[in-house]
Structure 1
Amino acid sequence: MTDTTGAGGPQDHESDGPTGPVIRDKRRIDPETGQVRDVSAEQVQETAAEQVAGGDNAFGGGVGDALPGGEQDPSGAPQATSGTPVDGGRSADDLHPDTVVAADRLEDLRRLQAEYVNYKRRVDRDRVRDREAGTTTVVEALLPVLDDLHMAKEHGELTEGPLLAIADKLETTLGRFGVERLGAVGETFDPAVHEALMHLPEADLPEGATETTIVQVMQPGFKVGDRVVRAARVAVADPA
């Protein structure tokens, strides 16, 4: 058991007298002779134990004190803080105002570019649709004329002459605008573009026909692009 005295350090009642702080000279060079002292293994171990007990290390502090920012994650890697250098050695708090403004303008430019691309696609789609709608209106207005020309051809009245040339030019002009005639003798019947008005079981079919086939066209049909203006009105027959 030890206690303190008024005259000095702690006193051990089991010893002969008071004991004070123990001073050990651990200098490797003797200050009097200038020679290197011999250090025993026991002294080296004792010094190392004292350093571990006192928290001494090579950094003179905690591991975090030797890392940038003074912080580290559980893996031991330093974490970036507001003062930690980032890209180009500059911290996140040191960005120039012009850099922030430039980033905002770049984002605005990208947004405007995306809006323009979408607008252009929409305009192109609407342009094709409007063109087809206008052509469809013209074809619907010309249906009576086209029907009369078809009937004249069926009765052999348009075999020659200027009227035949006019009829051919009209059909060629409509073809340049995407107008397509529907219905022809020998075609396979398609309910999507044909309207069967009669069924003729005794009609002659083309050689090799295996499906319901058109044998007579009463009114030709027309379509513009994918839109059917009028289905062809036909008579059909089935193969035997």
Structure 2
Amino acid sequence: MTESQPSEEQPVVRDKRRLDPTTGELRTPEEVAAAEAAATAAEQIPDGAASESSDGTTPDGSEGGQAEDPVAAAKAEAADLQDQLARAKADLYNLDQRFNQFVKRSRVEAQAEKGRGVESVVEALIPVLDDVDAARQHGGLEGPLASVVDKLESTLTTRFEVERFGAAGEEFDPTVHEALMHSTSEDVEAETVSQVLQPGYRVGERVVRPARVAVTGPQ
């Protein structure tokens, strides 16, 4: 019976050279120790050991192949965040524009509603104002009553822009005048208001009631 030959051990080479074989520069003690440790670790790796397992994964469990570039991944993530930020800014801008339009419409509608309310009140007061104007023309508006009426008309004018209009001698304008009588004369060259039967009233630029007049036109 033959005895098995003991396996031949490979000589262990320790890289303790003080000069770096690549650069030729003098190594520090730390570099010598690092080179020795690297050589020892290389000896412990068996020949032919695959760096990847048969299923294509590395020993740490990650998939084989080239590792993802962290700089490229960071750039892609930054680009995605920038796109999300731009979309969020666009949404905020659109929301702000819609809010501004809503505020503008609300103000216009509120002003229009206020104007309609004033017009409604003036329309209700027109018969009273007609009586006041007729009494003033006939000298029947005197004493404390005249003072109260003056305050009322002043308030309507200053606070609510109520204006009485219509006067004899004006050129007839169908947008502000309503002709109740018509005659002709050689003394006029255009349709002219010869008499105001009832004054007109406007609130701001809107005519609440046109002036009711007698008109004289050329022959």
Q: TM-score when scaled to structure 2? A: 0.59
Structure 1 pair 198–92 and aligned structure 2 pair: CA distance change class (3 A): farther
CA offsets per residue over residues 68-103 of structure 1, 9 Å max, x none? Answer: xxxxxxxxxxxxxxxxxxxxx999845354433322
Tell me the distance in 2 between the aligned counterparts of 1:157 and 1:90. Answer: 95
Is the 2:193–2:214 Cα contact (8 Å) retained in structure 1?
yes
Q: Pick one of 98, 106, 129 that aligns with 1:146.
A: 129
Name whichever of 126-135 and 212-221 sits farther off.
Answer: 212-221
1:132 aligns with 2:115: yes
In the alignment, structure 2 segments of 5+ residues that lack a partner are: 1-71
Tell me the distance in 1 between the aligned counterparts of 2:170 and 2:146. Answer: 25
Residue type of the partner of 1:99? Q
Equivalent residue of 1:95, what SS?
A: helix
Name whichever of 220-229 and 136-145 sits farther off.
Answer: 220-229
Q: Pick one of 112, 122, 131 that aligns with 2:95.
A: 112
- Residue 216 of structure 1 aligns with which residue? 195
Shift of 1:212: 1.8
Structural mapping, 1:8-157, within 5 Å: 93-157=76-140
Tell me how large the CA RMSD over aligned residues is: 2.7
Tell me the distance in 2 between the aligned counterparts of 1:133 and 1:226. Answer: 12
Equivalent residue of 1:215, what SS?
A: strand
Shift of 1:123: 1.1
- Residue 167 of structure 1 aligns with which residue? 149
Equivalences, count: 147
1:225 aligns with 2:208: no
- Residue 196 of structure 1 aligns with which residue? 179
Equivalent residue of 1:199, what SS?
A: strand
Shift of 1:135: 0.1
Residue type of the partner of 2:215? V
Residue type of the partner of 1:219? Q
Structure 1 pair 156–174 and aligned structure 2 pair: CA distance change class (3 A): same
Residue type of the partner of 1:234? V
RCO higher in structure (CA 8 A, sep ≥6): 2
CA offsets per residue over residues 5-37 of structure 1, 9 Å max, x none? Answer: xxxxxxxxxxxxxxxxxxxxxxxxxxxxxxxxx
Is the 2:185–2:218 Cα contact (8 Å) retained in structure 1?
no
Shift of 1:131: 0.9
Residue type of the partner of 1:221? G
Shift of 1:200: 4.1
Q: TM-score when scaled to structure 1? A: 0.54
Structure 1 pair 193–91 and aligned structure 2 pair: CA distance change class (3 A): farther
1:183 aligns with 2:163: no
Structure 1 pair 91–214 and aligned structure 2 pair: CA distance change class (3 A): farther
Residue type of the partner of 2:140? E
Shift of 1:166: 2.1
Is the 2:194–2:213 Cα contact (8 Å) retained in structure 1?
yes
- Residue 31 of structure 2 aligns with which residue? none
Identity %: 45
Tell me the distance in 1 between the aligned counterparts of 2:111 and 2:189. Answer: 38
